[in-house]
Homo-oligomer: A and B are copies of this chain.
Amino acid sequence: MSSERRAAILELLQTKPFLSLHELEERFPDVSGMTLRRDIEYFEKQGEAIKVRGGARSMKFITTSMEDAFSLRLKENVDGKERVARRALSLLETGRSIFLDSGTTVLRLAELMPNDRITVTTTGLNIAIELMKKEMPIVNIVGGMINRDNITVSGNQAISFIESINIDLAFIVPSGISLEDGLTCGNYIECELKKLVVHKARKVILLTDRSKLNKSLPYTFCSIDDIDCIVSDGELPEDMAKRASAAGITVLTA
């Protein structure tokens, strides 16, 4: 039957950016090349792929110009970010007001977010877009100027927005973490915003991966002691773990 084969091809299309006909012919030796061609044609009509010479390109991997600026960064330690995002998911509770920082880890979290009745406020344009694809969360975006580098909104208006809302849970991603300097980022105005978020949130959850540990950037927005929970993609260094436990911070390793 054709549907099984097509399902399998669709699977492949989710995995690889390019599927060659030769590949397909090897994978499905009992049907003719013509059939596989027709399958590709079918997926092209479905919008899952684009027929190109020699095979098909998967839509999943075709990103519009600006998105791939991210996917570049997204490729660093994808696996770690994925695990952190999934672990963080379990901290969500329905009916809450949560804040989502911007960043690729959080983007992944947004993609995975269940269709629960929660209210999300975010500074990340792409995160807002991602959440809109779902049915449920009420999505707020803070107002202000958009930073092209990281698709993040910040500024006075953003600050006054945060001042006006209540936050149960804040998921924060710093650019650097160190014992001495605490959580740091490289942009003053965004730093101010994060500072306020940390101050206002009832509970602050820090999402991090290996690459950020023991790094320090110009602006500090809070100390490690201000955090309530750390989700990391691996064990924390000993000194940091000690500090965390002294401060009563829950540490989750994903």
Contact = CB atoms under 8 A, between A and B. Distances in A.
Contacts of A156: 164
Contacts of A197: none
Contact of A53 (B53, B67, B140, B145): B53
A153 B121 CA distance: 12
Contact of A138 (B128, B133, B140, B145): B145
A48 to B, nearest CB: 8
Contact of A63 (B64, B133, B144): B64
Interface in A118-148: 125-126, 128-129, 132-133, 138-146, 148
A140 B144 contact: yes
A101 B65 CA distance: 24
A151 interface: yes
A133 B52 CA distance: 26
A245 interface: no
Contacts of A48: 65
A128 B147 CA distance: 11
A153 to B, nearest CB: 6
Interface in A160-210: 160-161, 164
A141 B153 contact: yes
Contact of A51 (B52, B155, B157): B52
Interface residues of A, number: 40
Contacts of A143: 140-144, 153, 157-158, 161
A156 B148 CA distance: 26
Contacts of A145: 138-140
Contact of A64 (B64, B125, B155, B157): B64
Nearest to A143: B143
Contacts of A141: 125, 141, 143-144, 146, 153
A128 B125 CA distance: 9
A133 B59 contact: no
A59 to B, nearest CB: 6
A57 B56 CA distance: 13
B66 A129 contact: yes
Given A125-B129, A142-B143, A47 B68 contact: yes
Contacts of A126: 129
A247 interface: no
A50 interface: yes
A62 interface: yes
A63 B57 CA distance: 14
